[in-house]
Amino acid sequence: MRKRIRNLFILILIIMAVYGIILAVVELPPYGMPDNPVHNEVSERYFNDALEDTGVLNMVTSIVLDYRAYDTMFETIVLFTAALAVVITIKTSKSKENGK
């Protein structure tokens, strides 16, 4: 009996999750349309307000260092960590080859 109730509860949760996903997908704008907000609002704001918001004349620099600073910082941390892992792996394999 407990197993049956548990399975029914899991089924209800799955149905609710699928229903929520379907509702979210229905609200999305059509895929690939050039007038979607993702294609015009952010880039227009960057182009129109970059000089006023940041005070930097170079638009690329203002976007990378002011608007996207955290993203750029975390990308750099990921690249540094990957490079460090490669160096550690190479050093470890070299020391095993040398018998140390």
Domain borders along the chain are 68-100
Do residues 63 and 50 touch, judged by C-beta distance below 8 A?
Answer: yes
Label residues 14-53 b or e (16+ Cβ within 10 Å = b): eeeeeeeeeeeeeeeeeeeeeeeeeeeeeeeebeeebeee
Placement of tokens 């895929």 in the chain: 31
**Tens-digit pLDDT string for the chain (100 aa):** 889 999 999 999 999 999 999 999 998 888 777 777 777 777 778 888 888 888 888 888 888 778 778 888 898 999 999 999 999 999 887 777 776 5
d(CA 82, CA 77): 9
